[in-house]
């Protein structure tokens, strides 16, 4: 298909609320001193507080590492981001925000089997994690299993009905299968949910272009560019149409 399609499911996730760090440290009691005559119950309380301090410090370090990993991701330093996330994984193999990020990083590095592994791990921890199902769909789509990808996108949408990225990627899969009517309707749904989803505008433009609806395709590409002027894919696709028509921009 000219121009190709744009998947979005593998972007760096934000931490789910259930795992989010508060950023606060437990504090030691102020004033007074413990003597050798402190009762055993008091000693146990102090040990418990010390443990809280250690756990809070560990959580703060983990949050800092994940922030660093996301910064590396945004810079395209996927290998560095992966190395940081693997440090977190060694400490807590059940943290879903880190598992999602590891899956996204391996997707960008085109290690699709590893991307599948980490997203499956995230689903084992949280079977209702729509983002993990969407990311599994992205990996299967890249591996050529469109039927499998579609099933995972549908599952992601069932869990999160306003998941615009999943709609966009589902529509792209329909498009690759030649199911143009379903693709168009699903792209439109993604844009109803998020009118500024440039990938959906561009993908819908590619669908129109493939159907010979060049003016509709132009409008889609121009809308994508209006929203994000540096969106190179839309510029390239638009230039292709003008070239085919003997025009220049």
Query: Which runs of E-coded beta strand occur in the chain?
Result: none
| Tokens coding 144 | 């050529």
Q: What is the pLDDT of residues 164-192, one digit of tens each?
A: 999 999 999 999 999 999 999 999 999 99
- 95 secondary structure, DSSP code: -
CA of residue 75 relative to chain centroid, distance: 15
Within 10 angstroms of residue 91's Cβ, the number of other Cβ atoms is 12
Q: Cα Rg for the chain, rounded, in angstroms?
A: 24
The CA distance from 21 to 51, in Å, is 17
- Looking at domain 163-249, does it have CATH number 3.40.50.1220? no
What rounded mean pLDDT belongs to the chain? 83
Please state which CATH class domain 1-12+51-160 belongs to. Answer: mainly alpha
Q: In terms of pTM, does the model score above 0.95? A: no
Task: Give the residue from 93, 91, 169 showing the smallest Cα distance to 130.
Answer: 169
Q: Say what the pLDDT of residue 6 is.
A: 61
Contact 79, 111 (CB under 8 A): no
Q: Where in the chain is the domain with CATH 1.25.40.10?
A: 1-12+51-160, 163-249
Q: Say what the pLDDT of residue 225 is.
A: 98
Segment 57-80 shows an average pLDDT of 93
Look at residue 213 and tell me whether its pLDDT is greater than 80: yes
Contact 205, 220 (CB under 8 A): yes
């Amino acid at each position: 298909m000219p121009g190709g399609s744009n998947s979005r499911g593998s972007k760096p996730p934000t931490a789910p609320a259930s795992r989010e760090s508060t950023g606060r440290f437990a504090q030691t009691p102020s004033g007074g001193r413990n003597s050798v005559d402190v009762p055993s119950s008091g000693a146990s309380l102090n040990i418990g507080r010390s443990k809280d301090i250690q756990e809070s410090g560990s959580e703060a370090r983990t949050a800092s590492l994940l922030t660093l990993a996301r910064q590396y991701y945004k810079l395209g330093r996927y290998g560095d981001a992966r190395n940081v996330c693997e440090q977190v994984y060694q400490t807590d193999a059940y943290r879903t925000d880190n598992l999602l990020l590891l899956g996204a990083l391996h997707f960008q590095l085109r290690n699709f089997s590893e991307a599948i592994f980490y997203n499956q791990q995230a689903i084992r921890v949280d079977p209702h994690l729509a983002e993990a199902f969407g990311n599994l769909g992205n990996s299967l789509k890249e591996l050529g299993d469109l039927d499998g990808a579609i099933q995972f996108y549908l599952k992601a949408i069932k869990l999160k009905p306003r998941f615009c990225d999943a709609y966009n990627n589902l529509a792209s899969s329909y498009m690759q299968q030649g199911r143009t009517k379903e693709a168009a309707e699903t792209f439109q749904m993604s844009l109803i949910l998020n009118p500024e989803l440039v990938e959906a505008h561009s993908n819908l433009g590619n669908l129109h272009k493939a159907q010979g609806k060049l003016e509709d395709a132009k409008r889609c590409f121009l809308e994508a560019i209006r929203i994000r002027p540096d969106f190179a894919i839309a510029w390239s696709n638009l230039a292709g149409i003008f070239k085919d028509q003997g025009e220049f921009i």
